[in-house]
Amino acid sequence: MSESFERFEYIEDFSISWRELRIPLHLTLFLITLFTTTLAGVEWIGRDPFNLLNFKFGLAYSFSLLLVLGTHEFGHFFYSLKHRVRATLPYFIPFPIFPGMLNFGTLGAVIRTKTVIPSRKAIFDIGVSGPIAGFIVSVAILIFGFTHLPSREFLVHIHPNYNFATNTVPDSEGIPLAFGNTILFKLLEVLFTNPHKEFVPPMTEIYHYPFLCVGWFGLFVTAMNLLPIGQLDGGHMIYAMFGKAHRKIARVFFFIILIVGLLGLLPLAGVDANLGWTGWLFWCLILFFVIKLDHPPALDSSPLDTKRKIVGWLTILIFIVSFSPTPFTISLR
């Protein structure tokens, strides 16, 4: 740690008042998001979300989802405090549901840092703490979901004419949506389920199962945040680990995501390839124009220690096992 960095870090008054934390605002956003995610959870299991008597059926989904998002953001928050970087509490972002339109009930959660992150070590710690925390909770929720699968009657209530021999439903029942598999999701399924003794839902049905849906979504959010671009969590990590090389790495991954997004347009040409996702194109616009591809330099560019490098490589592994190039597929019928 350089002398100039010590002066930057410790002379500044770091006291934070309750008023500065704006707790009423954050609590209000949290409660609204709890409401919208609960309604989304009701719709995911095939019940009417606008009948408030069904509200209780969405609580398992909403509580576990907000636990994943909250753990991720508080990971960032507490490590910001550790490095004496001013940061807000998490802003939970609600998203309303509409009849016939399935969504997660939220656009996620974010915190804002309000002072400069002073060193590559601090950038690394703050960047990886959120994804690692959210990943651990997501894995725990997935394990719970796989070890507490409901009976077949649960799915029959949603799809009365479900064909268990072919794992298909009539065109009139629901939409042909499938979540994309990942290395870790499949591994946990193999380790914690027994298809000879219980019904294990296929990827076309897991979104009806609250804990599997949330666990999958947690891996999806983790992977999106760990893309090594700009000031995403992965961008923080790669900049802290590799310094100037992050510019080339960010561009390579940006073009990979762009290509995968373009592949998602193949169905428009009549090619049902189940490859790519057009949502990556929108994400590319956000990356290029809002988040930006490059990471700003740190005041203290001292390299990371061995312990942090090990954590960094393990976090890269988390990205690999959590990422799906085709997270959502709507099959052509």
Give 117-165 as a 3 state SS string: CCEHHHHHHHHHHHHHHHHHHHHHHHHHHHHCCCCHHHHHHHCCCCECC
Q: What is the pLDDT of residue 268?
A: 77
Amino acid at 102: L
Provide φ and ψ at 101, rounded to 5°. Answer: -115, 105
Burial of 230 (0-12, 13-18, 19+ CB in 10 A): buried
Query: With 90 as the cut, is the pLDDT of residue 174 above it?
Result: no
pTM: 0.92
Mean pLDDT of 114-137: 96
Strand, helix or coil at 198? Answer: coil
Confidence of residue 2 (pLDDT cuts 50, 70, 90): very low
Is the four-CA dihedral 130, 259, 287, 241 of positive or negative sign?
A: positive
Q: What is the pLDDT of residue 1?
A: 36
E strand or H helix at 31, and its extent? helix 23-44
Contact 138, 215 (CB under 8 A): yes
Mean pLDDT of 148-163: 94
Contact 302, 121 (CB under 8 A): yes
Burial 61-70 (b: 16+ CB within 10 A, else e): bbebbbbbbb
Query: With 70 as the cut, is the pLDDT of residue 4 above it?
Result: no
Radius of gyration of the chain from its Cα atoms, rounded to whole angstroms = 21
Instruction: Name residue 119's beta-bridge partners.
Output: 300
CA distance 187 to 310: 23
E strand or H helix at 24, and its extent? helix 23-44
User: 266: how many CB neighbours lie within 10 A of its CB?
Assistant: 15
CA distance 179 to 324: 9
Instruction: Name residue 330's beta-bridge partners.
Output: 177
For the ranges 20-34, 60-74, 87-101, the one whose mean pLDDT is highest = 60-74
Q: What is the pLDDT of residue 270?
A: 74
CA distance 104 to 207: 10
Q: 189 is in which domain, residue-wise?
A: 3-330
Closest CA to 177 of 43, 64, 59, 34: 43
Confidence of residue 323 (pLDDT cuts 50, 70, 90): very high
Residues 6+ apart with CB under 8 A from 227: 234, 235, 253, 257, 287, 319
Chain centroid to CA 305: 28
Burial of 52 (0-12, 13-18, 19+ CB in 10 A): exposed
Mean pLDDT of 155-166: 92
Query: For the chain, what is the domain count?
Result: 1
DSSP state of 171: T
Higher confidence at residue 5 or residue 217? 217
Lookup: tokens for 42: 């009701």
Strand, helix or coil at 177? Answer: strand
Q: What is the pLDDT of residue 19?
A: 67
Question: How many degrees, rounded to 5, is the angle at CA 298 between CA 297 and CA 300?
Answer: 140
Lookup: tokens for 230: 């700009």
